[in-house]
Structure 1
């Protein structure tokens, strides 16, 4: 190693910089140099982290990267996962969500003496970091943290940790408190007063048997493709509005003018409602609350969407069923869609839009589709979880 140190040429999956000789260096950016003693000479792509909690807080791992190197990290993760299956693909420029745009997050809360701490856990640790500022949360979510500490002082158990789910909906912030109770009159009144003062859309408590709504002055919705959809407490929503828009735009490009489309793992209908109203859509989802919301909204908007409550892991659509569709949209959980993809590979479906939040399982499924005669045309990385090692993508397959 020279006196100037070894140059960092990339970033590993967990966020460490990697030198040309394979050395890992925490908090190093591409273009930095790592001396023999581990100290870092910062290069052109090393930025000053904007948050005082970095790198202790586990909410971000890559605040020391500038946007070009962060975007390259996303692309490299996808390319590396595909290469392990012998697949090469055109990887487009990444769509990065801006700072302070996360509209959905689950934080942790615990009591420390007389104080209540709320935040993410520390990186590679169970230690809770009390969040005094945040560069990723939407300001409407972050502004609630200080008053929530006061509310939770009377609700948190003496030991253990509880969760605070925050989601920005059409009506405002939806709060879901998990692992705590509110049974006495004084606590119930304080919850109502808190929700009213802060104009919450809803406040629910899950004591272990599912969310129970304690405040909801009007039905909570999230607008998808111009259609208001009832939002069950704790339901999945794309992490940022900008990320959702990027995924929807990419999906539309892939699906094109297809008039018969299957939306698999449809959730609340993020992609189903984004298709033109004239499109006939089959939407399958295993979560009962989500598919009922989708069905009700589709009926009210008079959209041609057939909503099916179906577990695609246990009962995937068959190759014959899939052959009816001109395009298929897949948006599975992190585990991917192994069972469904096996049927899709045997089908005659000409186009597939695969939305993924896990490059590894995506690459596995991509290999199955390619072995079945499909071609991976291109991939678009999407950085919804700003400055984290979490990678999302939208990919185009054609037969």
Structure 2
């Protein structure tokens, strides 16, 4: 090959793809790839802002500008739909700004290294900067290194950080510190860094060592108890975009079912009565407590929707359904939805592939995809989220 090739798109794993099908790492649409493999930057190739790129596994796409990253997100969804013989209106993605991630899992080695894992490796990048984490979370990296040296763990630890209403909630997996020296170090660390809570888990459940007041997260204006390391939308901006999309689907429906409800991200945003189903016991109990405190008409049920999905007859009681399953999707529940007579469904997903698989079954049951709102919460990553409007065809 003697002439340069142009990068046309970015593949699912982040490589640039040329017209002849070559995959080129760290290339952006519009880049020119010379015969010797060198890349001439095009209009959508930006200088990665972080010194740890591309070693750190926290980001794969820092070399893309927002236009290219948005197109990558749209292409991921369109490609997943096309694989199932589907198409739909895909709206402009809602992108979360840099340094807005309010939850993350870092790793710590006994040596004191703290950071994300190296891409495709168990090694740890010792973070000196981070352009995705909220400043409140990144501020803990250096103090955590000092604490690790005091605690002297014998193996790698997982550090789950979440920005709650009261400050940072920290759960350390892999150690249960004992002794007076450890207790004093933990208390001093928590006080100095104004933690909302600090807990440890060696495999038998979290043991809280610091929690001056009950930890909560506010969802649509309602404080909800936050269990350690609970699932929460990655950014406030991403949560707001998903909630707005779901509200546009549900509109003023008087009775709504929120399936895989979690802590109630969508349940608390609904205008009418809500039935909320969730398999996680701690999450559904928190939702129940939050609803009672706010005096909201939310009925909760601890229910495994994989083993016991709502039947078509149960679904037909509602004016709208909100469903937000894990990455695996909700095949069994989608089959029941396809046969139901519910007029509107808001399907929220963090996996375009399982979403497309589920929606194909629903469409084959006489439904249509009205539109899809993509959301980019995981800045510069290949992770894609979306909210879709589904309605029964008349």
Structure 1 length-normalised TM:
0.97
3-state SS, counterpart of residue 151 of structure 2: coil
- In 2, the alpha carbon distance for the partners of 1:2 and 1:63 equals 29
* 4+ long deviations beyond 6 Å: none
**Match of residue 103 from structure 1:** 102
- In 2, the alpha carbon distance for the partners of 1:157 and 1:268 equals 32
3-state SS, counterpart of residue 365 of structure 1: helix
> Structure 1 residue 2: deviation in Å?
4.6
Alignment of structure 1 residues 323-334 onto 2, 5 Å: 323-334=316-327
1:202/1:216 contact within 8 Å kept: yes
**Match of residue 115 from structure 2:** 119
**Match of residue 161 from structure 1:** 156
3-state SS, counterpart of residue 310 of structure 2: coil
Task: Provide Cα deviations, 1:45-95, integer angstroms capped at 9, x if missing partner.
Answer: 000000000000000000000000000000000000000010010000000
2:367 to 339, 350, 374: 374
> Structure 1 residue 275: deviation in Å?
1.3
> Is residue 2:293 matched to residue 1:300?
yes
> Structure 1 residue 124: deviation in Å?
1.4
- In 2, the alpha carbon distance for the partners of 1:38 and 1:390 equals 27
1:264/1:331 contact within 8 Å kept: yes
1:156/1:162 contact within 8 Å kept: no
Alignment of structure 1 residues 62-73 onto 2, 5 Å: 62-73=61-72
1:247 to 242, 245, 268: 242
2:150/2:185 contact within 8 Å kept: no
- In 2, the alpha carbon distance for the partners of 1:154 and 1:262 equals 48
> Is residue 2:220 matched to residue 1:220?
no
- In 1, the alpha carbon distance for the partners of 2:59 and 2:229 equals 22
**Match of residue 55 from structure 1:** 54
1:120/1:128 contact within 8 Å kept: yes
> Is residue 2:176 matched to residue 1:181?
yes
- In 2, the alpha carbon distance for the partners of 1:198 and 1:124 equals 32
1:155/1:181 contact within 8 Å kept: no
3-state SS, counterpart of residue 153 of structure 1: helix
> Structure 1 residue 198: deviation in Å?
1.0
User: Gaps spanning 5+ residues in structure 1: where?
Assistant: none
**Match of residue 87 from structure 2:** 88
**Match of residue 127 from structure 2:** 131
Task: Provide Cα deviations, 1:135-193, integer angstroms capped at 9, x if missing partner.
Answer: 000000000110111011122423x3110111000000001000012111110111011
3-state SS, counterpart of residue 267 of structure 2: coil
Task: Provide Cα deviations, 1:321-343, integer angstroms capped at 9, x if missing partner.
Answer: 00011100000000001011111
RMSD: 0.8
Task: Provide Cα deviations, 1:360-397, integer angstroms capped at 9, x if missing partner.
Answer: 00000010110011101111110000000000001010
> Structure 1 residue 257: deviation in Å?
1.3
3-state SS, counterpart of residue 75 of structure 2: helix
User: Gaps spanning 5+ residues in structure 2: where?
Assistant: none
Structure 2 length-normalised TM:
0.98
1:110/1:156 contact within 8 Å kept: no
> Is residue 2:143 matched to residue 1:147?
yes
